Amino acid sequence: MVFNVKGIAIDIDGTLTFKDRSLNCKAVEAIRKLRIPVVLATGNISCYARTTAKLIGVSDIVICENGGVVRFEYDGEDIVLGDVVECLRAAEYLKNFFEVELLDSEYRRSEVCLRRKFGLEEGREALKKGGFDKVRLIDSGFAYHIVDARVSKGKALEYISKELGIDVKEFAAIGDSENDIDLLEAAGIGIAVANADLKLKERADIITSKKNGEGVIEALEFLGLI
């Protein structure tokens, strides 16, 4: 089978990293062999994403905060696609029902990040009853995120693909968590690594037999990119 892949988007935490968030160096070596645009995607903040991208050494194009922020150059400006105001209101509302601990709040520009101290579905139900239909509560596997309902990693990839002049369906995307669903569905080929959660696997076109970075290598080989 021949794949016409002209760009690739890869989640960082849990995909390029092990569970302890240390980088899989073999996966980094594999990515460095690519000769197509690479977009690194994360639920994490911009400074984390761009520093990780620089250390990996293949691309400065990053999707941050689950699609709420994108950046094209290491020293370039953040392009903020999400509105943090309603997310902050939602976080305050959740404090009426749960113990809420904010993470990285001084750095996040489009969303609110919370420590996973309550049930995800219970949190979603509370926001629904409170009328917060302009936000979504998602789980990255490392934290909860209250995000602008209008943004996602997938929509951010669409934005980036237009800037690069590449059809988004000519991208392949690799991820491991629920917050990667939109990313995989936006791309032409969606790949879940073996350690991915069930929801992502159900939506993926391909599921690797190996976990984390080893799964990334497997995917790149399958696509004929390395």
Distance CA 32, CA 15 (A): 16
Contact 61, 72 (CB under 8 A): yes
Q: What are phi and psi of 98, to 5 degrees?
A: -135, 165
User: Is 60 a known active-site residue?
Assistant: no
| Gyration radius from the chain CA atoms | 17
Bridge partners (DSSP) listed for residue 136: 147
Q: Which pair of tokens denotes residue 181?
A: 């669903």
Of the residues 11, 78, 148, 182, which is catalytic?
A: 11
Task: Kindly state the tokens that stand for 163.
Answer: 């800037």
Alpha carbons 226 and 209: distance in angstroms, whole number: 18
Q: Which residues are catalytic?
A: 11
